[in-house]
Amino acid sequence: MWHLAASIFGRAGLGLIGCCVTGCSAAGEQPPELGRVSQRVLGGDAVPASEWGSVGWLDSGCTAVQISDRVLAYAAHCGTDASFAWFQNDIRINGAKTESPPSKAFRIERCVAHPSGNEIGRDLAVCFLAEPRRGTFEPLVSETTRSRIEPGDDALLLGYGSIGSGIRTLTKGAVWADIQDVGWELYIGDAEHGTCPGDSGGPAFVSTEEGFELLAVLSGGEAEHCGVGWYTDLFAVHDWLDSQVEQAGSSEPQAGCSLSQRNALPLRHSSATLLLVFAFGITVLLSLRRSRAPSPPSSQ
């Protein structure tokens, strides 16, 4: 079990056993070359190119999710030595080296783990982008939403996996899965729909009437098996996350759904609003013209 490794070896042990597809290493060491296939989220599909732009890949070997224009959240057991992040849906990997175009990479200034990042339920870290990456991001789960979460609810899980022979192309995938248990951590997924060892740090979203909210990030699961994932509940650490966003001087996470979907919403709303204003203006002008028109002469 990934967490059994964590309890015995600490964060480094969890990284080595439950790590992401490119492998993990101690700071300053070169990750080992890997030749196995790491599966995408279990039972899921590749994400369309225009969706979920807030979910990215760290060159240290984990999925991450953007929570403001400069802050990315992910799992602390992945380490704090990431240098670059990519957000496109397909990322080329050669062994432990990311070969995606440098022009699409976002440089990372530094990463910081939660003070209790080696404890169950606190496997969380953040990275600060050197330059803001503009966009609209899924908000952290609200107290109202979190209070309603219970076993049987579903969540949308995202992560990167590998397609083909060996580790070559990481593809962003998504799957809906049931929340199995709510406690110190959130247990999400089953034998048919869930996450794999390569999805560490990936987000879990819940759908609300206002859009998607960021509920948790993947901490672990059963080593070498896909299925139930053990997620760090972000509501339990929201004060720390808020402090990191404030420290970065970033804009606060905004409400909504996926990056591309939300970017389109204001346009649709604006068009509808302009149409209503235009119709109202025409009505007012016609009324004014009628009121000012000369009265017809009365018959004698």
The domain spans of the chain are 2-257
The model's pTM is 0.71
Answer whether residue 176 shows pLDDT above 60.
Answer: yes
Cα four-point dihedral sign 15, 129, 143, 145: negative
Whole-angstrom Cα distance, residue 217 to residue 203? 4
Each residue's pLDDT tens digit, 84-142: 999 988 887 765 556 666 668 899 999 999 999 999 999 999 999 999 998 878 999 99
Closest CA to 180 of 250, 231, 253, 247: 231
Instruction: Pick 2-257's CATH classification: 3.40.50.170, 1.20.1440.230, 2.40.10.10, 3.40.50.300.
Output: 2.40.10.10
Per-residue pLDDT tens for 41-96?
Answer: 788 888 987 889 999 999 888 999 999 999 999 999 999 999 999 998 888 776 55
245, pLDDT greater than 90: yes
Mean pLDDT of the chain: 74
Under DSSP, the state recorded for 297 is P
Which tokens sit at 283? 């009505």
